[in-house]
Structure 1
């Protein structure tokens, strides 16, 4: 007999509890994205004009459990439907309206959405929400966590902590896999099983766990593609790996994105050892296709940084020499037109993160 206390049930139907909204308003702790566009009123404790909260934009912020605050009051917790509405608001109304060319705006929006999604997960955990309700919320959150590294790749460490971000991705995946243990069918389970395989490239435990799932998930096209990419990676077959990566959809490509520099670096190392000769010429166009890079000029620049010589002529070639190769390690991540942007096409980032059907449903409801 289970004698553990029952988890609390959330009663807050707004994205931010009223008590927190008033408290942060009085303390001047409202995020810029939560304020009303009106002149400041009154005075906050620091003697400055006080911003007014917009109830339709204010979102519950993340609080560390060690902060000494009560995290399980029902009136402070949001039920699954409100949490899902919050995720949809953050992705469709906030993140989708960010200008990538404005780094300050991008950093501000990232910190806001990232923090508020942590609070969403916190409410899920406190209420022990699992099954379909938990999966819907976590899938949207993970869509953001997997896509955002591509958009914020040029932000400084002060604005984008890759280690903290990766920790949140792994914890979210772990919680989502618990939700999937429910016996019911989940429409996006195969998709997210494949995303986990691509994010944790080469993880044998993840591959083995997928092989124990129902055949409807195991043999789904997304999962079979992700497993094939993992096998190619483990076999160091970079030619097959990049050929398969070209078949990925946009969200899958974003999940794989963090591995691109290391995979290309290993490919260059392999080619350098295989074709190291002063009389050997490797076509630059062929190298560009093999490592799925956007243009021969980008491939040429990468080779030059590694100390390899580019030979001009009727056909531009690379001269692979072990003696001239500079072992500088993987390069920094950059823009990927073929693997990410062309696959995204005209779709919004929200459509990529939470699915076209969900966006259409919310838009129609609004």
Structure 2
């Protein structure tokens, strides 16, 4: 007995954090925070999941999404948790039980198939009509209290409660596909301001991802849908930037920030789907272009603050994708940007960029233009001003825009003896525009 008591009264390691046991329990509980709807057995347990990142529609691999923003890390603290063997044994047993429960939930989730035949469940339509909660695109003849199944689209719900979810509230894959096509058709076919269109599609595409996730649809059929949603967010990245000046600049800047957050999430899900549906070492048709978008969005280390380091990200990209022309383009653009090779930067974009790649790159173009003007101003010969016409070809801008751009950078332009516009060099007043860069075109 004395030996057993001594065994249980061993002094704790002074280096061990006394709160590690509770933190390990919280980490273990975090793994089971979400319970998929248990429709197979008919005993759906009421459980509530609040998503801190406002996204419950990411496609999961093995029941858990692998995020670019937050890569999965091993829970090393669990192995060291607890101050006695008994505590560790109970924690390990709890973890094993939780793993079995998660596996059972995933199997049950795979059997869930929605039955809603419309873009919006009937119950939600009736409720939103009573509350006058209809977007401008959903109003029948402009009536804010009347809609129809051809107009109403299911809204995104931030909290999921299995007590309230019915199969009639979930749209099957065929309905989700037609709903997405309808949403994409609104991009350029409505007179409403783009921020209004974006706000509507932004919310409804998240609802589509939510329904896909609840039914655990992760096969090849979904890849094309996620590519369309990436197209929407990348195009919005371009269009919102063009509208980010004026009286509503603050609101549009907020939309732009939220759009970038969701773009990172949708790209994460799309890459997971590529990996999950890969056959041997083959690549999907559009995978190289969509993989290249992440590189182009991360030219600056602070461009996508939730993203991981590119050096680590490249290691997970399949070799055929790395060798593709789309990824080769992205890697050269990355090298030119970080080495300040502005001439190659502009000429390569003009010659090789797709529309989506250009939309991802556009915010960097004026920054590189400012670098080019700075180098020419500092490295030029004072007695030989730089012709604006040459600068226009180099920066791929109209001559009138080049003059405006130089003025925004604090530099003055003038006329030479032949009446041609020139940029006098060695001017000491260069500065990056305090109000940001203008919305200059790209003639390439």
Structure 1 residues 299 and 177: alpha-carbon distance in aligned structure 2, compared to 1, 3 A threshold? same
Larger Rg: 2
Mapped pair 1:105 → 2:193: yes
Structure 1 residues 268 and 130: alpha-carbon distance in aligned structure 2, compared to 1, 3 A threshold? farther
* 1:244 Cα offset (Å): 0.8
Q: Secondary structure at the match of 1:143?
A: helix
Query: Where does the alignment leave 5 or more consecutive residues of structure 1 unmatched?
Result: 41-49, 340-366
Dislocated runs of 4+, deviation >4 Å: 68-72
Q: Secondary structure at the match of 1:246?
A: helix
* 1:159 Cα offset (Å): 4.5
* 1:33 Cα offset (Å): 0.5
Q: Tell me the residue number matched to 1:310.
A: 413
**Aligned partner of 2:364 among 242, 248, 259:** 259
Higher deviation after alignment, 212-221 or 198-207: 198-207
Cα RMSD for the two superposed structures:
2.6
* 1:60 Cα offset (Å): 0.9
Q: Secondary structure at the match of 2:423?
A: strand
Distance 1:221 1:256 in 2: 17
**Aligned partner of 1:189 among 269, 283, 287:** 287
Distance 2:311 2:177 in 1: 30
Mapped pair 1:287 → 2:381: no
For 1:7-18, list aligned pairs within 5 A: 7=109, 8-18=112-122
Q: Tell me the residue number matched to 1:158.
A: 251
Contact 1:211 1:218 in 2 (8 A): no
For 1:307-346, list aligned pairs within 5 A: 307-313=410-416, 314=418, 315-328=420-433, 331-334=436-439, 336=441, 338=443
Contact 1:197 1:207 in 2 (8 A): no
Q: Secondary structure at the match of 1:317?
A: strand
Q: Tell me the residue number matched to 2:221.
A: 133
**Aligned partner of 2:180 among 76, 87, 101:** 87
* 1:65 Cα offset (Å): 2.1
Structure 1 residues 329 and 80: alpha-carbon distance in aligned structure 2, compared to 1, 3 A threshold? farther
Q: Tell me the residue number matched to 1:35.
A: 139
* 1:59 Cα offset (Å): 0.8
Contact 1:12 1:75 in 2 (8 A): yes
**Aligned partner of 1:52 among 146, 155, 164:** 146
Contact 2:379 2:426 in 1 (8 A): no
Q: Tell me the residue number matched to 1:117.
A: 205
Mapped pair 1:198 → 2:296: yes
Q: Tell me the residue number matched to 2:63.
A: none
Q: Tell me the residue number matched to 1:64.
A: 158
Count of equivalent residues: 321
Distance 2:262 2:207 in 1: 12
How does the TM-score come out when normalised to structure 2? 0.66
**Aligned partner of 1:75 among 168, 182, 185:** 168
* 1:116 Cα offset (Å): 1.1
Distance 1:149 1:245 in 2: 18
Contact 1:65 1:71 in 2 (8 A): no
How does the TM-score come out when normalised to structure 1? 0.79
Mapped pair 1:142 → 2:142: no
Structure 1 residues 105 and 162: alpha-carbon distance in aligned structure 2, compared to 1, 3 A threshold? closer
